[in-house]
Every structure is written in structure tokens, then in C-alpha cells.
Amino acid sequence: MSTAPTGGERRAHPRRPVQWPARIWIGADTLVGLAIDVSEQGLCIATAPTSSVKVGSSYRIELLAEQGAEIAFNGEVRHVTERRIGVHAVQIVLPRLHIARD
């Protein structure tokens, strides 16, 4: 059975709505936004208008997901509109573990 997208949909994996704080590292600067939908390999981040994010460029992205899980990964920007950035997750880094110390 094929998992290829049908019709006008080009995504290989379905996205689900979320509201996760997001940070995009652009060199030493950061752009703060809100991940509004995610899939296995991508996400959409709502941000203030910016011209510093470029299609085809890769950036470090950090998310604060459900139950406080921190997720960091490198993502390639696939599209940019005035207030949204579409990102393909290139390299996922496991959530940081908080270990209590004596």
C-alpha cells in the first residue's frame, strides 16, 4: 500500500495541531515563535515577520513540547511566508533529560 500523498497534499506524514513555544537560532540571534502543527518530519512555526530566515537554509530549532519535553533539532526551511515558516526536520536530538542531583 502506498503512503504517497494524494491530491494537492505534498506531505508524506500527516500533521497535527499543537501550540509549542519555539526558538530558531539564526547565528547568535534567536527568533521566537509558536509551532502550530507538527509531523514526523516537519512543522510549521508562526512568527513575527522576518527577513532573516531563508528558504533552503538550515537552523537549530528548539521546541518546548507537551509535558515540558524539550526537543532540539536541525531543520531546513522549506517555505517562508510573512508570518509562518515551514521546516523539514533534518537531524533530531533527543529531548534533554533533567536528572536530580544529590
Residue 36 located in a structural domain: yes
Residues 21, 64: contact at Cβ < 8 Å?
yes
As a whole number, the mean pLDDT across the chain is 82
Indicate which CATH number applies to the domain containing 76: 2.40.10.220
State the total domains in the chain: 1
Residues 47, 32: contact at Cβ < 8 Å?
yes
Domain that holds residue 89: 16-93
* 59-79 residue pLDDT tens: 999 999 888 888 999 999 999
Please tell me the predicted confidence (pLDDT) of residue 80: 95
Residue 83 has pLDDT above 50, yes or no: yes
Per-residue cell: 92: 533530531
